[in-house]
A and B are shown apart, each in its own frame.
Chain A
Amino acid sequence: GDSVTQTEGLVTLTEGLPVMLNCTYQTAYSTFLFWYVQHLNEAPKLLLKSSTDNKRTEHQGFHATLHKSSSSFHLQKSSAQLSDSALYYCALSDVGDNSKLIWGLGTSLVVNP
Chain B
Amino acid sequence: GPKVLQIPSHQIIDMGQMVTLNCDPVSNHLYFYWYKQILGQQMEFLVNFYNGKVMEKSKLFKDQFSVERPDGSYFTLKIQPTALEDSAVYFCASSRRLGDNYAEQFFGPGTRLTVL
Q: Given A98-B31, A98-B48, is A104 in contact with B42 using a C-beta cutoff of 8 Å?
A: yes
Residues A51 and B109 in contact, CB atoms below 8 Å apart: no
Residues A100 and B48 in contact, CB atoms below 8 Å apart: yes
Residues A103 and B44 in contact, CB atoms below 8 Å apart: yes
Output the residue of B48, B50, B99, B105 with the most chain A CB within 10 A: B105
Can you report 10 residue pairs joining A to B where beta carbons are below 8 Å apart?
A42-B109, A44-B91, A44-B107, A98-B50, A98-B95, A100-B45, A100-B58, A102-B45, A103-B35, A103-B42
Decide if B108 is an interface residue (CB 8 Å cutoff).
yes
Q: Given A43-B4, A43-B110, is A101 in contact with B105 using a C-beta cutoff of 8 Å?
A: yes
Interface residues of B (CB under 8 A from A): 1, 3-4, 31, 33, 35, 41-45, 48, 50, 55-56, 58, 91, 95, 97-100, 102-110
Decide if A105 is an interface residue (CB 8 Å cutoff).
yes
A59 to B67, CA, bound (A): 35
Q: Given A42-B109, A43-B110, A44-B91, is A98 in contact with B103 using a C-beta cutoff of 8 Å?
A: yes
* Chain B residue at minimal CB-CB distance from A6: B42
Q: How close is B104's CB to chain A, nearest CB, in angstroms?
A: 5
- Number of chain A interface residues as a range: 20 to 34
Residues A89 and B43 in contact, CB atoms below 8 Å apart: yes
Residues A49 and B31 in contact, CB atoms below 8 Å apart: no
Output the residue of B33, B43, B106, B107 with the most chain A CB within 10 A: B43
Contacting residues, chain A, for B100 (C-beta < 8 A): 97
A46 to B98, CA, bound (A): 16
Q: How close is A62's CB to chain B, nearest CB, in angstroms?
A: 16
Q: How close is A102's CB to chain B, nearest CB, in angstroms?
A: 7
Decide if A70 is an interface residue (CB 8 Å cutoff).
no
Contacting residues, chain B, for A36 (C-beta < 8 A): 107
Residues A106 and B42 in contact, CB atoms below 8 Å apart: yes
